[in-house]
Amino acid sequence: MASSLTKDSASTTGSEKTFFGHPRGLATLFMTEMWERFSYYGMKALLTVYLLSGGPGAGEGSMGGGLAMDVATTTVIVSVYSAMVYLLAMPGGWLGDRVWGPRKTVAIAAVTIMAGHITLALPGGQAPFFAGLALVAAGSGLLKANISTMVGHLYDGPDDPRRDGGFTIFYMGINAGAFFAPLAIGTVGQEVNWHLGFSMAAVGMAIGLAAFLMGTRNLSPKSNVVPKPLAAEERTSFLRKGLIWVAIATAFYAVVGFTGHFTLNWAMIPLTVIGLVVPAAVLLRIKRDKDLSATDQSKMTGYIWFFVAAAVFWMIYDQGASTVQAFGEGKASHSMLGFDFPTSWYQSLNPLFVMAAAPVFAFIWMWLNRQGKEPSSIVKFTMGLVLIGVSFFFFLIPLGMAANGTAVSPLWLVGIYFIQTVGELCLSPVGLSVTTKMAPAKYASQMMGVWFLAVTAGDSITSLLSNPAIFGVDLNGTGAVAIEATLAVLAGVAVFMYRKKVKEHMGSVR
C-alpha cells in the first residue's frame, strides 16, 4: 500500500520516489502509526463496554461475557491505563535515546503491543485481561515518543520546508486509524465476540509491524543510532537498580497474594499515586535545577501554569472514554433513525471531528494572523479550558433527562464529543508548541515527555476521585459533573485574568 502512495517529485533527482513530495520513509512511518493507532483505539473502544458487560452499568440487551464491573471501578481502570500509557512515554524516549535507538525501540514496542492484544484475546477472566493491558500500555509508551522522533529524522533539520507538512500527513494517519478502529474492532468485539475483537487489534498491530520492517530501508540512518549511549558502568548500575526494585515489588505482592489480601486496589492505588507524584517530581526537579538561567527559571514558572491547566483539561477530556462512554452504554439509545449501532462507535467521533475541523482551524488562525488579530497562546489555551467545561455543562442536560430511566438520544453524546474536540484543537496544538518554545535548552529533548505527563496527572486525578476505596465520587452524577465543568471554566478564567503575569514569565514566547 505504501508504494501506491508514492510518486515522482520534481524536487528530487533521477527516478527517486517520494511520498507526496516527502521522503519515502514517511510512508513507512505513516502506515506503522496508522495501524498501531488502529489497534490501540480499537481496543480502547472496547475497554469500557467490556468491563461493564454483564454488570449493572451495561446497556439493556448488550452482549454478556465481560468482566461485569460497576461504572466506578471501570472508570478507575480506564483512567489508570491511559495515565500509564502517557507516563511510560518518558522511559520509552529514554530507552530510545540511551539504550536501543529509536528504530529498534519502535520494533520492540510493536511486538510488545501485539503480544498485549493477543493476551487480551485469551479467555480466562481478569488475569489475561490485566496482563494484556499492561503489555499494551508498556508498548504504547515505548512507541509514542520514538516514532515521532523518526519522522523528524527524515528531514534536513527544523528549517526543512517540508517538515511541518510531513508531520501533518503523519498525524492524519493517527486519526485515520483511530476513526476506523471502533467501526471495525468495536463492531466485531461488541456484537460478535469480545476476544475476537481483541484479536483484530493484534492483527492490526501485526500489519503495522510488517509495514515497519519492510520499509526500514527507507528510514534515515539516524534512526538506527543511539544518540547518547549508556556507558558500561551506567548500564550495570541501571540494571542492578531495576532488578532490585522488581525483586522488591515481586516479593511484596507475593506476600499480599499468598496471604489472601490482594484486591484490585493493591495495583490501582499505587499506580494512581505514581501518576501524580512523578509529574510533580519531574517539574520540581527541573524548576530547582541551579544550572538554569534566570530566564529559563522564569519560563518554567510560566509553563507550570499551562501544565496545571492542561491537567484539568485532560481530566475531563479523557472521560470521553470512561464516564461519557459508560453513560452512552447504559443511559442512551443504541439506535438513531432506525439504525442500531454498537456504543463503541462513539470513540470514532473525536478523530472524525479532528480530521474535519483541524484544516478549518488552521485556516482561521492563519486568516486572523494576516489581520493581526490571531489570539495569543494564552487566549487559545483559555478557550480550550472553557470549552471543555462547557462540554460537561452540556452533559448535565442528558444526565437530567436520563434520571427517570429515559434512554436519551445519541445526539447528546455527539454534541459532547464535538465540543470537546473543538476545545482540544484550541489547547493541544498550543500546548505542544509552548512546550517546545519554553523548554530550557538542557531539557529540550525531555520536555515533550513532560507535556504528556499532564495527561497522566489528569487521568490519575480521575482515578483517585472515582475509586470507591478513596473518595468514591460518582463522576456520572450531576453534582460531580457540574463541579468539574465549573473547575475547568474557572481554570480558564484564572489563566486569562493572570495572562499578563504569565506573559512576563514566558519572555519572548507568544
| CATH number assigned to the domain comprising residue 153 | 1.20.1250.20
Chosen domain end from 182, 204, 229: 229
142 contacts 205 by C-beta, under 8 angstroms: no
Both 115 and 79 in a single domain? Answer: yes
- 192 with 155, same domain: the answer is yes
- Is the Cβ–Cβ distance between 344 and 187 less than 8 Å? yes
**Residues 122, 55 share a domain:** yes
Length of the chain: 510
**Same structural domain for residues 316 and 225?**
no
Say whether both 135 and 33 belong to one domain. Answer: yes
DSSP 419-471: HHHHHHHHHHHHHHHHHHHH--GGGTTTHHHHHHHHHHHHHHHHHHHH-TTTT
pLDDT at 240: 94
Q: Are residues 238 and 303 in the same domain?
A: no
The pLDDT of residue 181: 97
Q: Which amino acid is at 157?
A: G
Q: What is the pLDDT of residue 492?
A: 93
Does 325 share its domain with 419? Answer: yes
Q: Which of 205, 222, 240, 72 is nearest to 135 (CA)?
A: 205
358: containing domain: 264-510
Of the chain, the end-to-end C-alpha distance in Å amounts to: 41
Spatial CA neighbour of 305 closest among 458, 491, 510, 462: 491
> Closest Cα to residue 455, out of 323, 308, 355?
308
Beta-bridged to residue 7, according to DSSP, are: 18
Q: Answer for the pair 256, 262: CB distance below 8 angstroms, yes or no.
A: yes
The pLDDT of residue 60: 82
Which long-range contacts does 437-444 make (Cβ < 8 Å, 24+ apart)?
Answer: 437/509, 438/299, 438/300, 438/302, 438/303, 438/506, 438/509, 440/286, 440/289, 440/292, 440/293, 440/296, 440/299, 440/300, 441/296, 442/289, 442/291, 442/292, 442/296, 443/286
Answer yes or no: is 410 within a domain: yes
- Judge if 340 and 320 occupy the same domain: yes
- Domain assignment present for residue 13? The answer is no
Pair 160, 225 in one domain: yes
**Burial of 270 by CB count in 10 Å (0-12 exposed, 13-18 middle, 19+ buried)?**
middle
> Is 110 in the same domain as 34?
yes
**Residues 197 and 190: beta-carbon distance below 8 Å:** yes
**Domain tally, the chain:** 3
| Contact yes or no for 96/88 (Cβ under 8 A) | no
Beta bridge partners of residue 336, listed in sequence order = 339
Please list the pLDDT of the chain residue by residue as tens digits (510 residues): 333 344 443 344 444 577 778 899 999 999 999 999 999 999 999 999 999 999 999 988 788 899 999 999 999 999 999 999 999 999 998 899 889 999 999 999 999 999 999 999 998 889 999 999 999 999 999 998 789 889 888 988 766 778 777 887 888 889 999 999 999 999 999 999 999 999 999 999 999 999 999 999 999 999 999 988 999 899 899 999 999 999 999 999 999 999 998 899 999 999 999 999 999 999 999 998 988 988 888 889 889 989 999 999 999 999 999 999 999 999 999 998 888 999 999 999 999 999 999 889 888 988 998 999 989 888 999 999 999 999 999 999 999 999 988 899 999 999 999 999 999 999 988 888 788 788 887 887 678 788 999 999 999 999 999 999 999 999 999 999 999 999 999 999 998 998 888 778 766 665
The predicted pLDDT at position 445 comes to: 66
Q: Rounded CA gap, 474 and 175, in Å?
A: 31
pLDDT of residue 11: 41
Closest CA to 173 of 202, 139, 135, 211: 211
- What are the two backbone dihedrals, phi and then psi, of residue 314, each rounded to the nearest 5 degrees? -70, -30
Q: Is residue 258 part of a domain?
A: yes
Q: What is the pLDDT of residues 457-491, one digit of tens each?
A: 999 999 999 999 999 999 999 999 999 999 999 99
Residue 478 in any domain: the answer is yes
Domain shared by 330 and 313, yes or no: yes
C-alpha cell at 363: 485556516
Please report which residue ranges of 161-290 form alpha helices under DSSP H. 163-181, 187-191, 194-214, 232-258, 265-287
Residue 72 forms part of a structural domain: yes
**In-domain check, residue 12:** no
**The domain boundary residue, chosen from 204, 229, 254:** 229
Residues 193 and 326 placed together within one structural domain of the fold: no
Q: Which amino acid is at 348?
A: S
Please answer whether residues 477 and 374 qualify as being in contact, where contact means their C-beta atoms are separated by less than 8 angstroms.
no
